[in-house]
Structure 1
């Protein structure tokens, strides 16, 4: 059942007389008249339990965000975070068994959302939807999420008014060959034609700075195991430089022009393994790669011990401090001639998580109003402030300047340039960072445009901010590359391949496929690491041939067939959403 905003009034009327009892699920059959406006104020103070699968904080929301929510809704947020409570599904299962997951629920869409709806743990919010004017701007996403549920149980996250063919990232893509630009400059800006041509360049850079300031040896390349799954995760990253992304055991180009199995002869995955193998042969691969975790690697980047990064949000985030960049040291994207970097398009139907109201919520109307506020300009600026790059509330961290543009104020400078600041008492006091929203989810994509200012919610995309962040590293990069930002460079050189944001969610593996996948991927990951550290070409090739044979015997081909089908489904969904929303 697809429930558009136009149909809500009629649907709600039918629901009140019980005519939809057969299709709206156990929690939906509550007689409630549709409303068109929320109250201006809420007289009774309440505290709601927020079961948040993404939160990294457990307890009452404090600080300026807590005060803002309390002032607007007379409501406090008690955050229940499975990530903090030991991880896994224990807390989730306990609360589901008790029949009350939470008043406000932030969870995964797909199978988990369907199970919660079928189990009667979610409230049908159709009667509130006419009043949810901010959410209503993304009616297509709301319809898509709920179309198989028979009622309006959930609301999207990470939605955007951008076309799905536009990148969802800001100044930098998610992936890319980032290297220590200062050392690249020092060795003479050598040309990099292909991924393989990057290796001798990295060797020269390591030779130019063999020791980090802390006295430890530098390595051009360093890996970690934490995120290994269907494959050696780090080996997936260079495949994105050529427009591919993973779908299980398959690699799929963002435009649907090519599909590969990760164990294909001369495929992109084995190419990446060979790249790391060659790096090891050159002495530029960190021997700790097989044992260290992400946190250890992050520290090495901070200390200047690693010279190449798969992602901007590792190398740049860890190393490009004010102190380093002002002295001319920092990570920037390398000019690799043949790259065509994969980018995730803005999700027309939202991201992987959703907002929902629990079936036992004391005041569901107020929670619906709060959810709707998260989609408003004020809500997006405030809620996205912790991890999503939004600027925070106007008047607290930023103002409109004389030219009519948003600009960080004194407090904003302290927060975003120095790391934190004390918030004035009238805003709740305390640390800005500690008081930021602990929900750890954005309703609206931070690069989306704030209709009140005409500029993005993310302060990093404001011209006033970019003018202030000029430094020797970015200035030299811009002069050499002929572009202001990484994304501008990729667009101007036709080196960005956007996979339209279709919010595609594959079906869960059958028990048979799950079993075959688990046994095959264990062999793939183990042998992939052995190939990276092979003694010579002959051993590398022998290990790969053995892996192909072993994986086939463990059911790899059967799983790959499923993943290839899913890759094609994803491409069809991408093409459909691009056709529907333009681009």
Structure 2
């Protein structure tokens, strides 16, 4: 899945009622934030780093300005990093970031720049692109350079080296060419978030307004949605409310909205595959299997549409339109944890208003663990980069306590403050700085807070790393102070109803979730023949999926499915399935090894 502004992949507040859930929302799969004031031993913004500074520079000369070209697949912004984060990097390192974003400029940007032999200085790229760029000589060997870092060096053996060794064909000597992104420092089998990534989520007040009926299956869900739609047809300002809304522009190997609801019943579609789904036991099921989860979810959407539950805008709208509807509370069923951040606030939570988990009895979720090995993207340095030592210094700082605090939480004294027990607590400003784009004091660079956030939109070490000063995650959602602040009427009512502190706890103690190791590896790249066949199959599956949901009757739905199964055979299904099956088998083996070695 691409990384989009999802107001971005990544961590939700307690039951989604508050504060920095939008941090997750910004990146969805990425988790954008920032961090505060000067921690002990760090430079205040406005004070350039000196070459004698033993904490960061190690003799590096910062006297000359350096502009770093950042080729960034995670970025939703293209151009110079400005605002408070830009000023921070300029003052501390005399560095300016010039961001190139394929999500803004288009996929051709990668092809054009890689063909020229110079993708950029700092690269944030996909694993599959790393596979291509190492043998092309476009990635710098970081093995020796990383030994001299203060912070990154401590993660080499457990995180960076195992990841790089997995690229056996491209990296037979086991060198370190790249640092996996969003690496957690928990364990390969730990899931730290309070809400699974994909699960049923609905407005609590509307759900209670129809009597909070017990949901045993998807039929019960549709009935509840129909009842809510009848009782709450419009928002207070007259906007139509839709039970289910879909969008096309995230579709990858298959229909994205089908892919993620498959997770509710224990099946995932691994990135880099088109033809298979995989469960926690290691069963590999073709997407076109008559009894498979992909068809089950298509049938659910078809049935929902026949009941008038699916937004008629779905075939034509994009994510931007969907995000507006989420912000306006125009959608009754959500299925990504971060989607709550568009509407939920503490103020609304105190009124019992907000989107929360509503479990369905027959679901059994599949959930990847924390990204202990990274999330499928990497940080690397281009082989033609100028002053690579300064780029490595920057990456090391980004992974330091100071750098992580700035990225995830903003400025100490502005976004958050210390408590008497040595922990951190969000300020009143910090609770809404992102949503309201709060003006930043001039000494920190001025401008709006959200406007000035890091546009890199990715991290090496994630916010699920423990801050050595506070002994809590950098992710402010899980600070004790935030959890206490988030005890609203909404969270209290939910906890009483489900006899659990969090949805993850509920699903776990009721045996309704499988947590599988989050495997981050090289799955190999397609041959030109397979790549072409995959593209044709993917397009056909996606287009047919949309037609099936909006079929005029069950007969047409069944006819389209039968035709899909037959037609993909002629597009080279067997060849692509063989590749995907091999990739899935590698994931299954690596998951078993991770569990055995935990």
Q: What interval of TM-score do these two structures reach, taking the shorter chain for normalisation?
A: 0.7 to 0.9
Secondary structure of 1:527's counterpart equals helix
Which residue of structure 2 aligns with residue 215 of structure 1? 238
Q: Is the 8 A contact 2:185 2:464 kept in 1?
A: no
C-alpha change, 1:141 and 1:190, in structure 2 (3 Å) is same
The offset of 1:525, in angstroms, is 2.3
Question: Which residue does the alignment assign to 1:259?
Answer: 284
> Hey, what does 1:343 align to over in structure 2?
367
Structure 2 matches for 1:26-175, cutoff 5 A?
38-39=57-58, 42-53=61-72, 54-84=74-104, 86-90=105-109, 92-110=110-128, 112-139=129-156, 140-147=158-165, 148=168, 149=171, 150=173, 151-167=175-191, 170-175=193-198
**CA contact under 8 A between 1:101 and 1:358: conserved in structure 2?**
yes
1:393 Cα deviation from its structure 2 partner: 4.1
Deviation at 1:250, TM superposition (A): 0.7
Query: Does the 8 Å CA contact 2:258/2:294 hold for their aligned counterparts?
Result: yes
Query: Which of 492, 495, 499 in structure 1 is aligned with 2:516?
Result: 499
| Unaligned runs of at least 5 residues, structure 1 | 1-34, 384-389
Say whether the 8 Å CA contact 1:255–1:497 is kept in structure 2: no
Superposition RMSD in Å: 2.5
Partner of 1:17 in structure 2?
none
Given candidates 232, 247, 265, the residue that maps to 2:255 is: 232
4+ residue stretches of structure 1 with deviation over 6 A? none
Contact residue 157 and residue 352 of structure 1 kept, 8 A: yes
Please state how far the C-alpha of 1:457 moved relative to its aligned partner.
0.5
How far apart are the structure 1 equivalents of 2:195 and 2:472? Answer: 18
Q: What is the rounded CA distance, in whole Å, between the counterparts of 1:574 and 1:452 in structure 2?
A: 33
| Structure 1 match to 2:276 | 250
From 475, 493, 500, the counterpart of 1:483? 500
CA separation in 1, counterparts of 2:406 and 2:255?
A: 37
CA contact (8 A) 2:163 2:521 kept: no
Query: How many residue pairs are counted as aligned between the two chains?
Result: 534
Counterparts of 1:231 and 1:99 in 2: how far apart (Å)?
Answer: 32
Q: Distance in 2 between matches of 1:166 and 1:521?
A: 33
Residue aligned with 1:576, SS: helix
Which secondary structure state, in structure 2, belongs to the residue aligned with residue 402 of structure 1? Answer: coil
SS at match of 1:161: coil
Contact 1:449 1:455 in 2 (8 A): yes
TM-score (norm 1): 0.85
Equivalence for 1:457: 474
Q: Distance in 1 between matches of 2:441 and 2:453?
A: 14
Describe the shift of the 1:463–1:121 C-alpha distance in structure 2 as closer, same or farther (beyond 3 A).
Answer: same
Q: Taking structure 2 as the reference length, what is the TM-score of the superposition?
A: 0.83
Alpha-carbon distance in 2 for matches of 1:129, 1:36 = 15
Provide the secondary structure at the position in 1 that maps to 2:144.
Answer: coil
Alpha carbons 1:50, 1:103 under 8 Å: kept? yes
Query: 2:216 is matched with which residue?
Result: 193
Are 2:389 and 1:369 equivalent residues in the alignment?
A: no
1:204 is aligned to 2:217: no
Q: 1:43 Cα deviation (Å)?
A: 4.3
Q: Go from structure 1 to structure 2 and tell me whether the alpha carbon gap of 1:113 and 1:336 turns closer, same or farther (over 3 Å shift).
A: same
Aligned 8 A contact 1:506 1:566 in 2: yes
CA contact (8 A) 1:213 1:303 kept: no
Match in the other structure for 2:316: 291
Secondary structure of the residue aligned to 1:310 is strand
Tell me the distance in 2 between the aligned counterparts of 1:435 and 1:221: 34
Whether contact under 8 Å (2:56, 2:397) holds in the other structure is no
**SS across alignment from 2:370:** strand
SS state at 2:289 partner:
coil
Q: Deviations over 1:155-200 (max 9, x none)?
A: 2211121111112x63322101111221111111111112332111
